Amino acid sequence: MARQAVDADDTDVLALLSTIREEAGDQQEAEQLDRSAAAAGNSDALARLIRKREEAGDPQGAEQLALQVANAGGGRSPYFSKTPLHDRWPHGLDPDGTPTPPW
């Protein structure tokens, strides 16, 4: 099913399968499915990857993924409320990628 979802670019199915694998305790497969979904543009999957990097103690990896979300115009996913993405840049990012200061 995952292969069919990848072939069809069905990122919602990949994200759902990732959630199922994570709940079943298969973190490695869940992360791989999220990576596939994120590579195809699913911001929910990318948000979960950010959370996983933070939980794994990899703040640099989480930051890099968060910048990918910001650069892609993402960040509106409900999953982002479960990550400190907003805490990173409460006022957003300037065009050069630096955090926007408070107004």
Please name the residues in contact with 92: beta carbons below 8 A apart, sequence gap of 6 or more.
70, 99, 100
Residue pair 79/54 in contact (Cβ under 8 Å)? The answer is no
β-sheet bridge partners, residue 93 = 99
The whole model's pTM is what?
Answer: 0.64
pLDDT band at residue 53 using 50, 70 and 90 as cut-offs:
confident
Choose between 60 and 39: higher pLDDT. Answer: 60
Whether residue 75 has pLDDT greater than 80: no
Residue pair 5/20 in contact (Cβ under 8 Å)? The answer is no
Q: What is the pLDDT of residue 71?
A: 67
Q: What is the pLDDT of residue 23?
A: 93
Measured CA to CA, the distance from residue 12 to residue 94 in angstroms comes to 30
